[in-house]
Chains A and B, each alone.
Chain A
Amino acid sequence: MSESARSFGDAGASSSPLPTVADALALGLTREEYELVCAKQARAPNQVELAMYSLLWSEHCAYKHSKKLLRTLPTEGRHVVMGPGENAGAVDVGGGLVCAFKVESHNHPSAVEPFQGAATGVGGILRDIFAIGARPIAVLDSLRFGEVGSAGPADSGAEIGGLSAANTAQRSGASQIRSRYLLGGAVAGIGHYGNSIGVPTVGGEVYFEGPYEHNCLVNAMALGLAPRERLVRSAAAGPGNVLVLFGASTGRDGIGGASVLASAELGEGDDKRPTVQVGDPFEEKKLLECSLELLERRLLVALQDLGAAGLTSSAAEMASKGGVGIDIDVARVPLREPDLEPFEIMVSESQERMLCVVAPEDVEAVLALCEKWEVGGSPIGSITDSGRVRVFAGEALLGDMPVRALVDDCPLYDLAPAAPSAPVYAAPARVLAAGASLHEVLLALLASPNLASRRPLFEHFDSVVQSRTVRRPEQADAAVLKLPDGSALGVCIDGNGRRVAADPYRGTIAAVLECASNLACVGAEPLGTTNNLNFANPEKPHIAWQLSEAVRGLGEACRALEAPIVGGNVSLYNEGAAGPIYPTPVIGMVGRLPDAARAGRLGFAAEGDTIALIGPFVPSLPASELAKLRGQELPARLPDIDIDAVRCAQFAVRGALRAGALSSAHDIAEGGLAVALAECCLAGGLGAEVRLDGTRAGGGEDGDGGGGSREDLFTTLFGEGPGGFLISGTANGVRSLGRRTYVRVIGTVGGDSLRLACGAERVNSSLAEMSTAHGALGLLFS
């Protein structure tokens, strides 16, 4: 031990012996990283320092396996006001306003305790938004769980279309019950937080797939609005300024959440519940109003929320960005329980707390405002010019670290990607008999948990508070929020993990295109993108390959769409004993439409309207929802995607909606053309008469969808792929798109059933029976 360390220990009031390399390993650092810490400190770190390094050098905080890849993504564009690196990104939306937005994951906490995990996930992303001075105006969620079974009691094991199989019914019954528990808990947690704080939940998505059974995904996206000049950054500045902690008191919840929970695989039987935080939306509501009023009165130099790694990461990052030092006195931090150790205070992830930098003369006014909103406020330290983070307990110095070493010197790792030589994922269980008719397949797809109506979930959420919601869930492909000048924002979140698992590069491109297509269907043009990369252990070559390929696709698609990435998050190590999750890049996109009154809707609107299939849609069955129901393995790759052709179709649909030429617009996604038609019928309460002969969709070289084999018929009706839209409108309105993209008139709106003719085959399904099938998820919540 060096001389300096001994004298430090004497001053440090810590009677505990110095931690060893074994302690460092237990906190998630590698031996080499521990040695690097010793080198940076020029001595062995003490307990407080090691705790802080282990968190800031965790995957969750340092992005050490993803940072090099993320640097390849496009982050600049004409609308970007604030890019990655701040609490949230922001784009200009006109009228002097900016929209701040970001998506973040809370996967591992939700797998351990779904209600609090999801609730605090929402709380965390909302704090990111108001930390840059924007008032949160909407939340969206992206959820993944294991199989919940088809409608009816878990473990039914029955197949649709006559075949029966009870091979693994008992095991799948237990796992379905667990997945339903996680779903119910997460949905209730999201609602509990968002509803109580007065921010509408306006959209989201959920998928159920086997690989998520042991590692569910809970991603939450939030948007906020701010006058452009009100945006605040998190860089601390001004030596002599005061560091004020405000909000809830600090407890023992979430100790080590970032390192132990978020940066390692979930093991079977681990008791990690104490690392999950507990949320209090009422506290956050007060914190939100207090923060915004502090900013409005221009009382703050800098503002930062406390998230993963608590005070440690907030203070170190504020100091790093401002190029200053910070002194913190843990004795001045208000505690929820009296016997917290100093290192626990520094790493606690207690929720609903913010850290700000205040000029000395404004401290009194800041504390008075905290009192008005009934949130605790305490000066806990000061800004220095030392370039170091120093932790005190009263007079005693407990930790002393260079800011650079903490924030910038964590080693970054190169991935060693290698395409897998054998399939990574087992084929799903077959639930559809080989001889199922087209009619049976249509109803089975509508009732499939991945495609069924989300209404039973959305009913848990207030989607209208704040009076901006022009399109609620299931009224359109994207949510629409009006702005004061009569324009509106379109926003959506998407990501199909199964297709990314089949082909990480093309699957990710498809996810980005899907988002932009959803925006096009309300008339919105993309302004910017956020993403959450949910992957398994990147130290494994085939996972590293998934991650690299997905990021390559993400960058390419965002560049082509001029929808740069303004912020996001990476969640790695999402795997359990049963294997890795599907690679799941979740894409959130914000766009703008000039006239809120012309926002598109997905439901058919008028009897007699012409229905047309738009765009370069080339459906295929591999990796589709139908392939899943049939128990088919994932293909080795997906068909090539012509991004420009899809973009042209989006342009055409968007333009026609903005011109007021269409009654409805809907992007063709999971379940293909037939399911999209059913969705348009159900949303509008109107039937349709559709002939697919001669359409391009699914046809062979002769373009005759009905002329090929029976399998061609399934491809035409249920095949999936990017670039397809279903629109309806007057004949003239529909014709107006023809100059810009492929347009095939396929039918007419009317009646109370969907009547599909495809070659010699006929499908006739009443609105009532389709509605019953589509309502399958309701049984999970009754």
Chain B
Amino acid sequence: MRFGVLQFPGSCDEVDALHAARLVGDAELLWHGERDLKGVAAVIVPGGFSYGDYLRAGAIARFAPVMEAVSEFASEGGLVLGICNGFQVLCEAHLLPGALLPNANRRFTFRQMQLQVVQRDTCFTSACAPARGGLEGSPTLSIPAKHSWGRYYADEATLDELEANGQVVLRYAPEENFNGSLRDIAGVRNAAGNVFGLMPHPEHAVDPLTGSTDGLCIFASMCLAVEGARV
């Protein structure tokens, strides 16, 4: 299967995402000024600072020509993964519920995070290995996070609804939540289950040399979701 990775002028992690996707399939970059998704089977909105993010993270990127195509693709059920800035863009574009606010510690923070996969039955986590006696039986992933605006926020009613619908996919492990995300939410999906955003960077956890391979299962799950029917 072929992934498309969006490229904005201020994207930073697009090449990392491209390499990660290529470990499980084909992948190519999609320029922000174009409306053509070139027939890719899944879209990744990568990390970085799309248009500098001087206004509010992701606030301008949502108006990019390519995002029109992504919205249409998502409405037709196409798989969309937003990582960090990509998560912010998907929230700004209302493809995902909630918003991302400045970190509770009020500064950019880089940290290797422990994440609990609380929903394994999704297009983005089905390939994550079962727990090795981890936290409450759910798989734990070691993945780096690096951001200034990562505090997940939604009103209480929305949060309750997300929990009830199984849309909360990832949580920060206890004591790990430096950004102050409500209910320790690290990643959510939309109601239809085909759009997923998370603040930590799975594309930076795909090589044992650079620290961890725990992020690979996110990309492998997407592959499985697209190709699974064929196997």
Question: Residues of A at under 8 Å CB distance from B?
Answer: 188, 191-192, 195-198, 280-283, 285-286, 289, 373-374, 458-470, 472, 482, 596-597, 781
Q: A196-B49, A282-B52, A289-B9 are in contact. Are A462 and B110 (CB under 8 A)?
A: yes
Q: Which residues of B contact A462 (CB under 8 A)?
A: 12, 108, 110, 146
Q: Does B111 interact with chain A (Cβ within 8 Å)?
A: yes
Q: Does B13 interact with chain A (Cβ within 8 Å)?
A: yes
Q: Does B58 interact with chain A (Cβ within 8 Å)?
A: no
Q: A282-B49, A467-B19 are in contact. Are A460 and B13 (CB under 8 A)?
A: no
Q: Which residues of B contact A197 (CB under 8 A)?
A: 12
Bound complex: CA A131 to CA B211 (Å)? 32
Q: Does B24 interact with chain A (Cβ within 8 Å)?
A: no
Q: Which residues of B contact A781 (CB under 8 A)?
A: 107
Q: A195-B146, A467-B16 are in contact. Are A282 and B54 (CB under 8 A)?
A: yes
B51 closest partner in A (C-beta): A282
Nearest 7 Cβ contacts at the A-B interface:
A198-B12, A282-B52, A462-B146, A467-B16, A464-B204, A196-B49, A286-B9
On whether the beta carbons of A461 and B207 are closer than 8 Å, the reply is no
Q: Which residues of B contact A463 (CB under 8 A)?
A: 110
On whether the beta carbons of A465 and B12 are closer than 8 Å, the reply is yes
B-side interface residues, number (CB < 8 Å): 29
Q: Which residues of B contact A464 (CB under 8 A)?
A: 110, 144, 146, 201, 204, 210-211
Bound complex: CA A558 to CA B61 (Å)? 49
A184 closest partner in B (C-beta): B107
Question: Residues of B at under 8 Å CB distance from A?
Answer: 9-13, 15-16, 19, 48-49, 51-54, 107-111, 144, 146, 201, 203-204, 206-207, 209-211
Kindly name the residue among B48, B206, B210 whose own CB sees the greatest number of chain A CB atoms within 10 A. Answer: B210
On whether the beta carbons of B107 and A458 are closer than 8 Å, the reply is no
Q: Which residues of B contact A472 (CB under 8 A)?
A: 211
Q: A196-B10, A196-B49, A465-B12 are in contact. Are A460 and B207 (CB under 8 A)?
A: no
On whether the beta carbons of B9 and A373 are closer than 8 Å, the reply is yes
Q: A282-B10, A462-B110 are in contact. Are A470 and B49 (CB under 8 A)?
A: no
Q: Which residues of A contact B54 (CB under 8 A)?
A: 282
Q: A196-B49, A282-B54 are in contact. Are A191 and B12 (CB under 8 A)?
A: no
Bound complex: CA A171 to CA B209 (Å)? 49
Kindly name the residue among B12, B49, B52, B144 whose own CB sees the greatest number of chain A CB atoms within 10 A. Answer: B12
Query: Which of B13, B110, B201, B207 interacts with A459 by CB under 8 Å?
Result: B110
Q: Which residues of B contact A597 (CB under 8 A)?
A: 209
Q: Which residues of A contact B10 (CB under 8 A)?
A: 196, 282, 285-286
Q: How far is the CB of B144 from chain A (nearest CB, A)?
A: 6
Query: Which of B15, B108, B144, B211 interacts with A195 by CB under 8 Å?
Result: B108
Q: A188-B107, A196-B49 are in contact. Are A467 and B210 (CB under 8 A)?
A: yes
CB pairs A–B below 8 angstroms (7 shown):
A191-B108, A198-B48, A280-B52, A282-B10, A285-B9, A286-B10, A464-B204
Q: A188-B107, A461-B110, A462-B110 are in contact. Are A482 and B13 (CB under 8 A)?
A: no
Having A188-B107, A282-B52, one finds 9 other A-B pairs with CB under 8 Å, namely A198-B11, A282-B9, A282-B51, A373-B9, A458-B110, A459-B110, A460-B107, A467-B15, A467-B203
Q: Which residues of B contact A282 (CB under 8 A)?
A: 9-10, 49, 51-54
Bound complex: CA A323 to CA B55 (Å)? 46
Q: How far is the CB of B192 from chain A (nearest CB, A)?
A: 31
Q: Which residues of A contact B48 (CB under 8 A)?
A: 198
Bound complex: CA A282 to CA B9 (Å)? 8
Q: How far is the CB of A237 from chain B (nearest CB, A)?
A: 31
Q: A198-B12, A464-B146, A465-B12 are in contact. Are A482 and B210 (CB under 8 A)?
A: yes
Bound complex: CA A459 to CA B19 (Å)? 25
Q: Which residues of B contact A458 (CB under 8 A)?
A: 110
Query: Which of A374, A460, A467 interacts with B108 by CB under 8 Å?
Result: A460
Bound complex: CA A546 to CA B53 (Å)? 46
Q: Which residues of A contact B206 (CB under 8 A)?
A: 467
Query: Which of A191, A196, A465, A470 interacts with B16 by CB under 8 Å?
Result: A465
Q: Which residues of A contact B12 (CB under 8 A)?
A: 195-198, 285, 462, 465
Bound complex: CA A197 to CA B207 (Å)? 23
Bound complex: CA A281 to CA B53 (Å)? 11
Bound complex: CA A765 to CA B201 (Å)? 37
Bound complex: CA A469 to CA B15 (Å)? 15
A467 closest partner in B (C-beta): B16
Q: How far is the CB of A34 from chain B (nearest CB, A)?
A: 44
Q: How far is the CB of A506 from chain B (nearest CB, A)?
A: 37
Q: Which residues of A contact B19 (CB under 8 A)?
A: 467
Q: A282-B10, A460-B110 are in contact. Are A467 and B207 (CB under 8 A)?
A: yes
On whether the beta carbons of B15 and A468 are closer than 8 Å, the reply is no
Q: Which residues of B contact A482 (CB under 8 A)?
A: 209-210
B206 closest partner in A (C-beta): A467
A596 closest partner in B (C-beta): B209
B111 closest partner in A (C-beta): A459
Q: Which residues of A contact B203 (CB under 8 A)?
A: 467
Bound complex: CA A371 to CA B19 (Å)? 28
B146 closest partner in A (C-beta): A462
Bound complex: CA A196 to CA B85 (Å)? 11
Query: Which of B13, B53, B201 interacts with A198 by CB under 8 Å?
Result: B13
A597 closest partner in B (C-beta): B209
Q: How far is the CB of A50 from chain B (nearest CB, A)?
A: 38
Bound complex: CA A253 to CA B9 (Å)? 25
Kindly name the residue among A373, A459, A469 whose own CB sees the greatest number of chain B CB atoms within 10 A. Answer: A459
On whether the beta carbons of B13 and A374 are closer than 8 Å, the reply is no
Q: Which residues of B contact A373 (CB under 8 A)?
A: 9
Q: Which residues of A contact B108 (CB under 8 A)?
A: 191-192, 195, 460, 462
Q: How far is the CB of B197 from chain A (nearest CB, A)?
A: 19
Q: Which residues of A contact B201 (CB under 8 A)?
A: 464
On whether the beta carbons of A470 and B210 are closer than 8 Å, the reply is yes
Q: How far is the CB of A145 from chain B (nearest CB, A)?
A: 18
Q: How far is the CB of B150 from chain A (nearest CB, A)?
A: 13
B109 closest partner in A (C-beta): A459
